[in-house]
A and B are shown apart, each in its own frame.
Chain A
Amino acid sequence: MKSLFRKLMLTAALVASPFMVQADGHGDDLTYILVSHAPDSDSWWNTIKNGIALAGDQLGVTVEYRNPPTGDLADMARIIEQAAASQPDGIITTLADFDVLSGPIKAAVDQGIDVIIMNSGTPDQTREVGALMFVGQPEYDAGLAAGIRAKGDGVGSFVCVNHVISNTVVAERCRGFADGLGVDLGDSMIDAGQDPAEIKNRVTAYLTANPETDAILTLGPTSADPTILAVKEMGIAGDIYFGTFDLGTEIVTAIKDGTIKWGIDQQPFLQAYLPVVVLANYDRYGVLPGNNINSGPGFVTADALGKVEEFAGEFR
């Protein structure tokens, strides 16, 4: 046992030394790891996978995708620790829960690994963990913009269908929307769960119990797709004011047929693609943009659907 331990220690020293050099070098063997908080079942992240694959091809770097299979954030912390232990040139990660993830991310930064926060997190948190920048959509502001728009269209009350109730950052969208409308969030946010049938039934139940609801806000394809079915079945499609965050094939079809008024595109492709570009150019030439990058919000309405339709679910 003792000799095995010694061997491991020796191995560790041997293995660590060449990696230390490589991490600071300008070699063409750049490796980045993207760690997401999404469970395997969340199809939205497919765009992210396509984004890093394309960036990797174009720039000649290796980008790996890792996620906790069940979406358990404590497991995600272990994956970030694991990613740091494998000494990549950079880590791109979400900051879905600051308490859980800040420790592992800080440790990675302090080991000399460059980190970019994407998708979830705030500019302040990004600065605090010592990451290079934040690439994503400021969620509260996006919700606020949507709320103001909806108020202009005459909306007074709404229901927010939240399929990721444990993600505090995503809930900010509902808060922003409520503030934009100038109403109290109160009980307007429902915990819909991840299962499509469950989501559909919860929405139906809510709208039946609260028939005076003016608008529906869904927070992504996971909650939007079943909600589309629900409003169609209830015969209020096109009648109720329906807005959604993020895009997907079903959402695009629904925007086209008038069921959904608008989709807010946070352009996940950019959240995956740009960090790789930034990291690769930083490692190769030492150049770095001076600010955080806002990948969204962009409103997608029935008027501008051509490119969106072509690439929905793939790059949009």
Chain B
Amino acid sequence: MSDTANTDERVKEMSSLRRALIRPELGGIVGTVAVFTFFLLFAFDSGMFNVQGVMNWSVVSAQFMIIAVGACLLMIAGEFDLSVGSMIGFAGMMIAIFGVVLAWPMWIAILVTFTICITFGALNGYIVVKTGLPSFIVTLATLFILRGFTIFIPQTVESKTIIGGIREAAEGDWLASIFGAKIAGPVFQWMGDMGIIAVFTRGNRKGEPVVDGIPMLIVWAILLVIIGHIILTRTRFGNWIFAAGGDAQAARYAGVPVDRVKITMFMFTAFCATVFAVCQVMEFGSAGADRGLLKEFEAIIAVVIGGALLTGGYGSVIGAALGALIFGVVQQGLFFANVESSLFRVFLGVILLLAVILNTYIRRLITGER
């Protein structure tokens, strides 16, 4: 490819193999292959790879993907958001308050929640940019503030910390179904009828397939990954994100609106967290004050497994998506493989460490940086 007539002599010549290897997602690809090989060997007949099992780890991976896309772009722009988990709990609770307690139409509740959460994201970004404080500290404060509100508001209004009835309130709502519906139901029904996938054997859903559609959660995850990837690699704004995270001062000299980029990325992270929350409350029908605990770290872990640098300026959305897939498959797969559940965190830590070491090693080897 590179040896065409119009080669630029300022660009260093590079073989296409080498070019393929220095992609940030390489570690993620290797990890994905390794993880699937492992579970195909050790948990093959455990139900992990039947249609329910596949749907189970796909949904969990998709959840991680949604928050990982936001965290990834923000991390490439050189900042962290530790308030993601609290934002998930907060957004879910806001929908419950507006939609159930105040009985607003669900689409208004969802839109207002998005507005409030994205405003909090913008506030995070504004404070970070204006004060120059590390985003680690600023968003740590937001983590506590939002979690506090998530417990305080429902306790004050309803004197309980779980508010249910969201599914009933969202019945037939056009916007709610964009987050909570399932698609391709007839395909699964057909597969159930054909005997390709298992069907319910009793109860009032007898004869229906055990998996009755692809949840919108997965559609959102794939859409966000594709959009995030295109923005990052194909647009001017994507270059600005890399520049802002690589060297903010140099980027400013080059005319990149660094502050605007960072604030936008904080808003996008908040958007992703809210998407996660809306999908969750629409599926489960209730909002709880403890939802989303530690999700901020899970997002960061997925992004780091996917090859992004904690210092910013380097990373890829596809890598983060693969990181989320690895995380989801490992988390659910350990259950399928009958690993003692208290050892889960040990495995998680080991995998995180291995992934980061592998990524760093590959990157140093290929790019020649020290």
Chain A positions near chain B (C-beta within 8 angstroms):
8-9, 11-13, 15-16, 19-20, 40, 64-67, 69-74, 77-79, 81-87, 97-100, 103, 106-107, 109-112, 130, 165-166, 168, 171, 191
Interface string of B38-71 (1 = CB under 8 A from A): 0000001111111111111101100000000000
B162 within 8 A of A: yes
Q: A8-B49, A67-B341, A166-B162 are in contact. Are A110 and B290 (CB under 8 A)?
A: no
A82 touches B56 (CB 8 A): yes
User: What is the minimal beta-carbon distance from B307 to any residue of chain A, in angstroms?
Assistant: 22
Instruction: Specify which chain B residues have a CB less than 8 angstroms from the CB of A98 in the assembled complex.
Output: 164
The one of A82, A97, A191 that contacts B332, using a Cβ cutoff of 8 Å: A82
Pairs A-B, 9 closest by C-beta atoms: A99-B286, A110-B203, A85-B52, A12-B50, A99-B164, A110-B200, A86-B47, A70-B293, A85-B53
Instruction: Specify which chain A residues have a CB less than 8 angstroms from the CB of B236 in the assembled complex.
Output: none
A13 touches B196 (CB 8 A): yes
B52 touches A40 (CB 8 A): no
Q: Which of A66, A85, A107, A168 has the most CB of B within 10 A?
A: A85
B203 touches A109 (CB 8 A): yes
* In the bound complex, CA of A109 to CA of B165 (Å): 23
Residue of A nearest to B168 (CB): A99
Residue of A nearest to B336 (CB): A86
B200 touches A78 (CB 8 A): no
Instruction: Specify which chain A residues have a CB less than 8 angstroms from the CB of B165 in the assembled complex.
Output: 99
Q: A86-B336, A166-B161 are in contact. Are A19 and B288 (CB under 8 A)?
A: no
B284 within 8 A of A: yes
24 A-B contact pairs sorted by A residue (CB < 8 Å): A11-B49, A11-B50, A12-B197, A13-B196, A15-B47, A16-B47, A65-B341, A71-B293, A74-B284, A78-B332, A85-B48, A85-B50, A85-B52, A86-B335, A99-B162, A99-B284, A100-B284, A100-B288, A107-B200, A166-B288, A166-B289, A166-B290, A168-B161, A168-B162
The one of B198, B200, B203 that contacts A16, using a Cβ cutoff of 8 Å: B198
User: What is the minimal beta-carbon distance from B7 to any residue of chain A, in angstroms?
Assistant: 34
B243 within 8 A of A: no
B201 touches A110 (CB 8 A): yes
Q: Which of A65, A82, A109, A111 has the most CB of B within 10 A?
A: A82
User: What is the minimal beta-carbon distance from B49 to any residue of chain A, in angstroms?
Assistant: 5
B203 touches A130 (CB 8 A): yes
Q: Which of B55, B56, B285 has the most CB of A within 10 A?
A: B56
The one of B48, B166, B294 that contacts A86, using a Cβ cutoff of 8 Å: B48
The one of A83, A86, A100, A191 that contacts B285, using a Cβ cutoff of 8 Å: A100
* In the bound complex, CA of A85 to CA of B53 (Å): 5
B286 touches A97 (CB 8 A): yes
B155 within 8 A of A: yes
Tell me the residues in window 197-213 of chain B with beta carbons closer than 8 Å to chain A beta carbons. 197-198, 200-206, 210
Q: Which of A9, A71, A110 has the most CB of B within 10 A?
A: A110
Instruction: Specify which chain B residues have a CB less than 8 angstroms from the CB of A109 in the assembled complex.
Output: 202-203
User: What is the minimal beta-carbon distance from B195 to any residue of chain A, in angstroms?
Assistant: 8
Apart from A99-B165, A166-B289, list 9 A-B contacts with CB within 8 A.
A11-B50, A15-B45, A69-B345, A73-B288, A85-B48, A100-B284, A103-B285, A106-B203, A171-B160
